[in-house]
Amino acid sequence: MIISIDLYNSKPAFLQIADVVRTAIARGALQAGDKLPPIRETAVNTRVNRNTVSRAYLELEHQGLVQARQGSGFFVTEGGADQEREARRQSVVEKIQELLGEAELSALSTQELIKLVELEAKRMQKEGAR
């Protein structure tokens, strides 16, 4: 797994690193028992301080997605993928609620909104196929 960050992004580097790992867990690229890249290696590859990477990994541990093993590194926990997917589902529900509110204010019917979502999904699929 390659972790890269945007040093010019306003989001702190440790959160960017944590986001990359969470995404890899949600997508199944990292599975239960898989070891995260070593802190030193990740620090060199991302051009950040080791403390920044350590902070990202500790944040992931706090969220229950990874577990530190003394002298061995950090490993994805059992159930970490399910936990991350559930958190993302909840985020989607919150965004849908916000979207429905905006649609109502825009005088869009539910059917019109569904059609817009379907069109956008098709557009994104086409772009992803390129």
Q: Confirm if 52 and 14 have CB atoms less than 8 A apart.
A: yes
Helix (H, G, I), strand (E, B) or coil at 101: helix
- Count H helices and E strands in the chain, helices first: 5, 2
Domain coordinates of the chain in residue numbers?
Answer: 13-78, 81-129
Q: Confirm if 88 and 96 have CB atoms less than 8 A apart.
A: no
Tell me: the pLDDT tens digits for 76-91? 999 999 999 999 999 9
For domain 13-78, the question of CATH label 1.10.10.10 is answered with yes
**pLDDT confidence of residue 7:** 86
Q: In terms of C-beta distances under 8 Å and separation of at least 24 residues, what long-range contacts does 120-129 make, across chains too? A: none
Residue 130's pLDDT band (boundaries 50, 70, 90)?
A: low
Q: What is the mean pLDDT of the chain?
A: 94
Helix (H, G, I), strand (E, B) or coil at 45: helix
